[in-house]
Chain A
């Protein structure tokens, strides 16, 4: 077995190891990764999102600790200091010596700090690693704690990174000044026209922009900083962040005599081989044929090429697409192809609307013999919706008049994905072409976005191409029908809208007016759930078994209990937050004894009583309701439990009262009917004993309040919930959960839990946050009112049955022999309790 040593464990290094390990089924290579940073590889592209919750875990790239893979060794926090090429060995700072058969340098780059006097004063930072952000955070907190008024910061560099850093600082509550030497922001990506609009848009967002100038010097002034710009402006600052570009980390290569480029970077050929045939360089440190690439996608391509070569295949770097699209503080900026019209005879078509807040430019060629113009590139600011369609068209003839393609919404409606050639790259992060995706759809039977992701990796990195994947499915004739079933041509969301707009209150009327046939086991419970969420208190107190609704319910909802394999039912009283008094425990024990029920503690911190027959259910519930208990909705597509840990009341680590909050949340949302079941958890500190991140919504206590996570679940496809907002006070927390749940109830598909719902949402978690926190759709008031109504109208369903003779009458086993025992039900004993015996004799008629 040969040894591959990889220096650096950034994003590209991780991709290389992943690619190699996925294909090296024979185990030809042992991999040793030597890392300077103290933690497994994380998503540097998303570094700015670290500010949202200071959650390292959320940034960590999946599988980057290589746990469970014996052929990968990861040595963290010990940088390589020298390479002995003759002996084929590297040495680390701690003195560890590692021999290699092949060596890959993936050392990335370092931030460039311009030599301004004072650039190394305390309070000056760079923006590249988690440690950098932690240091900035500490300085921000110090500044906020020690002075009155808003703290201020200077960001040196108005490029992509500088603006991201400014956003992070603004999110931390500072007033950022962005200082850019060039006459416009993002000078590499956008032109003057785009830059002007961009400046206006970000200025509206509380950033102060200084272009065409630079910092002359930085001085210490007490515990603050003072700077003077070359245009004479003076600024009082709490901190300075440099993001004025990067320089490849080629020092190891230099000191070991490898060829490096004039402007830095480890020189390689198109196969990414350095001047030493045993050594490769990939990612930002590499200068492929003399050219460095500061984006992750070309790095990934290099990683794949090197992995292929290590496994005996060949590969060449095909060049890279340097297109970028980003959303900065809600401002769209995209630039693709020849954005600056550098091509000979290129023509620009510009559509600029300062009022509408967009600037769009296409660069096209002179018309060819057929009168067609090739798309060469473009710049989009303020509205980049056309980017996904335009970028893959670069190099192809424009399918429509350029001006038409720029008209608002034009890019998406005027031309379809059909117009793209097969070679057009749809996912630039993972270099997946349209052809590869259509073949996955036709040949590998991928009939959903999720399957395409699994099969081709497209859409798995930045996610911006996901809408295109859906369009390709459409274009390939894969009917992603939203229709609920043969009786309704509508999705659940559409039915929700119809029902709330028309105030139709019965299934019969709905299917007569908007459907066909008589309904089925799919549409009936779905409509029943919607009717239950809508305000239907005008009918029989809104009970789920009121009138016609009773006929729509699944058997579990019909009998308000979970059916078991022998046709008996289980009984689960609500035990909010898992907290229960001994007196109530005693009642449960007595009921279980009296009715001979099998008793088990569930995985949801409560007690399940099994083996009740239909006619026993009301008698059992009468006892429980009389003792002050109520339905636990274990049967419903509704809130199940809010699991809690013991929290600050008892636990020596707890920082907030998790039980109190869990009880409050469980009581607030009990009975809320939803597209699928809902589970929640509240933990009293970051140790997370309540497994809140495995729930549809999870709350974790912090010193300052509560962090809210959404979209987790256990089950067959376990998913961790993601941070929606942090350090919330209780009222804000509850408002956000109210909106989250109501928005979910209104827009999710039938039987779609919150995780896939968020995943399929255009814009994902960011969009969800914009809706719930920033009220982007202007619906928060409505969502809040709907939840307030739910809370106000809640009534225990079992009490409702016990008080209504007509509903009670349905709880009989035989209509012609009430009280007669069901002869197919019998039990045997196991570990001192009864369990079902299956006696039913099937009456199967052979056909």
Chain B
């Protein structure tokens, strides 16, 4: 799990039960203001949240990418044109000037929360 600051439950958005996430895959969630978050669960049960929008193609599809690792660093490959982003930082592995926004995420008592 990424480092998450201590937050009160009112400042976070409840997403779904942790069990709803498939290990090795992502889902998309809608924030109250219309932004979209891609939430991934790795096979080792770590959870990451990134903006769902692929900055290279501007389509909201990152949650549907395949996740994996490059030399041990977890990443997602966009399903659109296969650009890769680090799950922990949002950094593009293919263009060092680009990154997608990451969101703090945590699992409390079996429920996934994201801080917008």
Interface residues of A (CB under 8 A from B): 486-487, 508, 517-521, 523-525, 548, 550-556, 558-559, 563, 565-567, 810, 813-817, 820, 822-825, 838, 840-847
What 0/1 pattern do residues 44 to 72 of B give for CB contact below 8 A with A? 10000001011101111100111111111
Q: Of B28, B30, B58, which one neighbours A840 at CB under 8 angstroms?
A: B58
Are A845 and B101 in contact, CB atoms less than 8 angstroms apart?
yes
Shortest Cβ distance from residue B13 to the other chain A in the assembled complex, whole angstroms: 8
Interface residues of B (CB under 8 A from A): 13-16, 20, 22-25, 27-30, 34-36, 39, 42-44, 51, 53-55, 57-61, 64-72, 74-75, 77, 79-80, 82, 84, 90-91, 96-101
Chain A residues near B43 (CB-CB < 8 A): 508, 518
Are A566 and B69 in contact, CB atoms less than 8 angstroms apart?
no
Shortest Cβ distance from residue B111 to the other chain A in the assembled complex, whole angstroms: 11
Shortest Cβ distance from residue A634 to the other chain B in the assembled complex, whole angstroms: 16
Are A566 and B59 in contact, CB atoms less than 8 angstroms apart?
yes
Q: A519-B69, A548-B24, A559-B64 are in contact. List 8 more A-B contacts (CB 8 A).
A: A520-B69, A551-B23, A814-B27, A816-B15, A816-B29, A822-B36, A840-B53, A840-B59
Chain A residues near B53 (CB-CB < 8 A): 824, 840-843
Distance A563 CA – B42 CA, assembled complex (angstroms): 23
Contact A520 to B70, CB < 8 A, known contacts A551-B25, A816-B16 = yes
Are B55 and A843 in contact, CB atoms less than 8 angstroms apart?
yes
Distance A160 CA – B72 CA, assembled complex (angstroms): 60
Chain B residues near A814 (CB-CB < 8 A): 27-30, 36
Distance A262 CA – B70 CA, assembled complex (angstroms): 73
Question: Nearest 4 CB-CB pairs, A to B?
Answer: A520-B68, A555-B79, A551-B24, A521-B77
Contact A838 to B58, CB < 8 A, known contacts A517-B69, A563-B64, A816-B16 = yes
Shortest Cβ distance from residue B40 to the other chain A in the assembled complex, whole angstroms: 11
Chain A residues near B91 (CB-CB < 8 A): 847
Contact A845 to B100, CB < 8 A, known contacts A815-B27, A816-B14 = yes
Chain B residues near A559 (CB-CB < 8 A): 64
Shortest Cβ distance from residue B65 to the other chain A in the assembled complex, whole angstroms: 7
Distance A533 CA – B37 CA, assembled complex (angstroms): 35
Contact A815 to B28, CB < 8 A, known contacts A521-B82, A563-B61 = yes
Chain A residues near B79 (CB-CB < 8 A): 554-556, 563
Are B70 and A486 in contact, CB atoms less than 8 angstroms apart?
yes
Contact A521 to B65, CB < 8 A, known contacts A563-B79, A817-B30, A842-B53 = yes
Chain A residues near B98 (CB-CB < 8 A): 844, 847
Distance A709 CA – B110 CA, assembled complex (angstroms): 58
Distance A264 CA – B90 CA, assembled complex (angstroms): 79
Q: Of A486, A565, A825, which one neighbours B80 at CB under 8 angstroms?
A: A565
Distance A443 CA – B68 CA, assembled complex (angstroms): 36
Contact A555 to B68, CB < 8 A, known contacts A841-B53, A844-B55 = no
Are B90 and A555 in contact, CB atoms less than 8 angstroms apart?
no
Shortest Cβ distance from residue B44 to the other chain A in the assembled complex, whole angstroms: 8
Are B22 and A847 in contact, CB atoms less than 8 angstroms apart?
no
Shortest Cβ distance from residue B108 to the other chain A in the assembled complex, whole angstroms: 15
Chain A residues near B80 (CB-CB < 8 A): 563, 565
